[in-house]
Amino acid sequence: MGKLTIRPLFDAPTSTFTYLLYLETGQALLIDSVKEQFERDLKLVSELGLSLKYLIETHVHADHITGAGLLSEKTGAKIVYGAKSGVQSADLLINDGESIDLEGTSIIGLSTPGHTAGCTSWLIEGQVFTGDSLMIRGCGRTDFQQGSSEVLYQSVHQQLFSLSDQTRIYPGHNYQGHPWSTVGEEKMYNPRLGGQKSLEEFKRIMDNLKLAPPQRLAQSVPANLKCGKD
């Protein structure tokens, strides 16, 4: 088990974080890649001399198309989704609590539905990659793709807030300029879910957001259900 490096990458047009994780041996995985950044990501993997083993997704995104399909074709890396994602064409579908292995490093799937019904957060050596389930001082919306404020509240409290306070949270998006935070911080300062916010308060906050639909919803969801493959 070698030292793990976490390398965030950023897609400015959609404010999406992609994470490249790699061991000293060169074994690597990519979380939530963006199709438009396919060449950038592949170039970096090549420059660093990495061998890409997994393309992991936190959920079926509504705001961008995943780069997983293209990257899988080029590198042979396996596409990994949570079992409830509905992505039947993934190479691996992981149930809550199951893990995959990168040379002795466990990547544990934590089912965290609520933003979508199939969201999975990924726990890797004291870090959790939460996608749109829990974001820094925020959370994903719950008003489409079988989203549910009640379900998200339970996911965050039972799965994510039960991790140690030092666990570092790497979210799927960066809307307020906070690239990461910790479980302890979000438990205290997340304005929607932290402090002693009740389920009723959270539901009221989410009901009152009144957000416009994501611009790329109609293209992204069907494309992502096919892993972004054309």
The type of residue at 187 is K
**How far is the C-alpha of 89 from the C-alpha of 128, rounded, in Å?**
25
Q: Is 166 helix (H, G, I), strand (E, B) or coil?
A: coil
**Size of the chain, expressed as the number of residues it contains:** 230
**Of the two residues 21 and 151, which places its CB atom closer to its own copies in the complex?**
21
Shortest separation between residue 109's beta carbon and its own copies, angstroms: 26
Which one, 74 or 178, has the nearer CB to its own copies?
178
- Terminal Cα-to-Cα distance of the chain (whole angstroms): 36
Which residue, 16 or 111, is less far from its own copies as judged by CB?
16
Interatomic CA distance for residues 102 and 65, integer angstroms: 25
> In the 8-state DSSP scheme, what is residue 173?
B
Beta partners for residue 128, in sequence order: 123, 169
How is residue 53 written in tokens? Answer: 């083993």
Q: How far is the CB of 33 from its own copies (least distance, A)?
A: 11
Q: Which helix (H) or strand (E) holds 38?
A: helix 38-47
> Smaller CB distance to its own copies: residue 126 or 179?
179
Amino acid (one-letter) located at 217: L
Torsion 152-29-10-170 (CA) sign: positive
Residue 208 C-beta: closest distance to its own copies, Å: 22
Closest CB to its own copies among residues 48, 199: 48
Q: How far is the CB of 183 from its own copies (least distance, A)?
A: 14
Nearest approach in angstroms of CB 138 to its own copies is 13
Q: Tell me which residues touch its own copies (CB under 8 A).
A: 7-12, 15, 37, 40, 44, 47-48, 174, 176-180, 185, 188-189
Give the largest CA-CA distance in the chain. Answer: 50
Strand pairing report for 181-182 and 168-171: antiparallel
Q: CB of 93: closest distance to its own copies in angstroms? A: 29
Pick between residue 8 and residue 222 the one whose CB is nearest to its own copies: 8
